[in-house]
Structure 1
Amino acid sequence: MARRQIENSHRQVMEDDYRDHLIHVVTGYEIRSDKWPFHVYVGLRIVDMHKIGSVGEADSIVEAYEKGFEAGRMFIDGGFSVRGG
């Protein structure tokens, strides 16, 4: 696992490789709730990314990434495969 920050603007995006999949965690600070909502996307490098689950929420950007990558790994380990189509 080698996490990489791939976007750093109003939204923060970090990616990581896990098995033969790529996981993206997208987050950004929400001032009204003082939280970091996040979304998780999983896919293969040759196939579009697919959003899994609903919006998660964390108290910090670090927690958002940790929870998001954990959800992505659980999705992949659960036997689900993102193959497109």
Structure 2
Amino acid sequence: MARIQTEHGARNVQTDEIKGRKVEVVTGYDANSDKYPVHVYIDGEKVVGRFIADRMSEGFDLGFSIAAQELDQR
């Protein structure tokens, strides 16, 4: 499938399907750190870890990469 952006603004969300599982990646700008914290959900379950990117696009790429790695390990 292709990534679809479902939310814009302070909270930005993209969804996609990887190996038949729904993946959501959430990011938004944090002014305190000048970074983009990234949260990854697979079928609604949060992937444990602290992920940070320098740009929003990098955050989405990182999040989907983390999801793919997580699914490979399951």
Q: TM-score, normalised by structure 1?
A: 0.82
Question: Matches of residues 68-83 of structure 1 in structure 2 within 5 Å?
Answer: 68-79=63-74
Q: Which structure dedicates a bigger proportion of its chain to helix?
A: 2
1:28-62 Cα distance to aligned partner (Å, 9 max, x none): 0011111000100001xxxxx10012231000001
Q: TM-score, normalised by structure 2?
A: 0.94
Unaligned runs of 5+ in 2: none
**Alignment size in residue pairs:** 74
Identity %: 36
Residue 62 (structure 1) aligns with: 57
Unaligned runs of 5+ in 1: 44-48, 80-85
Aligned residue type for 1:68? G
SS at match of 1:53: coil
Runs of 4+ in 1 over 3 A off after TM superposition: none
Aligned residue type for 1:71? I
Residue 25 (structure 1) aligns with: 25
